[in-house]
């Protein structure tokens, strides 16, 4: 069962990070020169948001907590880490909270208003790229966990 939980966790993590990488490196360079680029980006962003933000992030939290239990660490270790492994996990969890907050602001506030002004469009893009960088930092911390913290 623990392998199944970690597999689901890694699959959702792949969709979350892979989706952001695809939008920044593949989709954006292509559609930014198209006449209705903001409208196109909004449509693709909305679909990614439903799967990634609305369902993906809560599922990463649940499977993350189950991963902890399967390795023998209670949730309380996220608050009071007792060893280097749970210290790294606490940092990962903190970045998870930051990336979740940024995703909600990006998807449900900025993204909705991005076509209203150049400043809002640039802020939306900045927050999107910041969230990708935080996601990559989370993956780095995940690999540190693999090697014991
Ligand atoms: C954006 C959010 C997240 C991403 C991208 C992510 C990514 C990953 C990845 C790629 C692994 C596999 C590492 C490996 O086996 O080498 C992993 C493992 C793990 N994750 Fe996450 N994760 C996220 C959120 C969370 C959260 C919120 C928690 C806890 C509440 C968590 C707890 C764990 C644990 C305990 C493992 C097992 C580590 C081990 O093998 O020792 N993750 N995560």
**How many alpha carbons lie under 13 Å from residue 67 in its C-beta half-sphere?**
21
Q: In degrees, to the nearest 5, what angle opens at C-alpha 125 toward C-alphas 119 and 129?
A: 145
pLDDT per residue over 46-85, tens digit each?
999 999 999 999 999 999 999 999 998 888 888 888 889 9
Cα separation, 71 vs 66, whole angstroms: 9
pLDDT per residue over 69-78, tens digit each?
999 888 888 8
Q: Report whether 54 contacts 12 (CB < 8 A).
A: no
Tokens of 77: 């270790």
**How many alpha carbons lie under 13 Å from residue 11 in its C-beta half-sphere?**
10
pLDDT for the residue 35: 84
pLDDT for the residue 21: 95
**Test site for ligand 1: of 7, 10, 145, 146, most ligand atoms within 8 A of the Cβ:** 145
Residue found by looking up tokens 């995703």 in the block: 103
Residue-range domain boundaries for the chain: 2-146
Whether 103 is in the pocket of ligand 1, judged by its Cβ within 6 Å, is no
How many A from CA of 64 to the centre of ligand 1?
6
Whether 106 is in the pocket of ligand 1, judged by its Cβ within 6 Å, is no
pLDDT per residue over 7-39, tens digit each?
999 999 999 999 999 999 999 888 888 888 878
C-alpha of 54 from chain center: 11
Cα separation, 139 vs 37, whole angstroms: 30
Whether 61 is in the pocket of ligand 1, judged by its Cβ within 6 Å, is yes
As a whole number, mean pLDDT of residues 81-90 equals 92
């Amino acid at each position: 069962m623990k392998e199944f939980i970690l597999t689901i966790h890694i699959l959702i993590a792949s969709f979350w990070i892979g989706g952001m990488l695809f939008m920044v490196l593949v989709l954006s360079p292509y559609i930014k020169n198209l006449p209705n680029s903001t409208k196109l980006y909004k449509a693709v962003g909305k679909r990614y948001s439903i799967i990634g933000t609305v369902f993906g992030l809560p599922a990463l939290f649940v499977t993350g907590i189950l991963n902890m239990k399967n390795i023998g660490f209670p949730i309380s270790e996220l608050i009071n880490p007792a060893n280097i492994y749970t210290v790294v996990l606490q940092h990962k969890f903190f970045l998870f909270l930051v990336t979740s907050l940024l995703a909600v602001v990006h998807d449900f506030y900025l993204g909705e208003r991005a076509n209203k002004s150049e400043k809002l469009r640039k802020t939306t893009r900045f927050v999107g790229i910041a969230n990708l960088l935080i996601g990559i930092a989370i993956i780095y911390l995940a690999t540190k966990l693999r090697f014991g913290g």
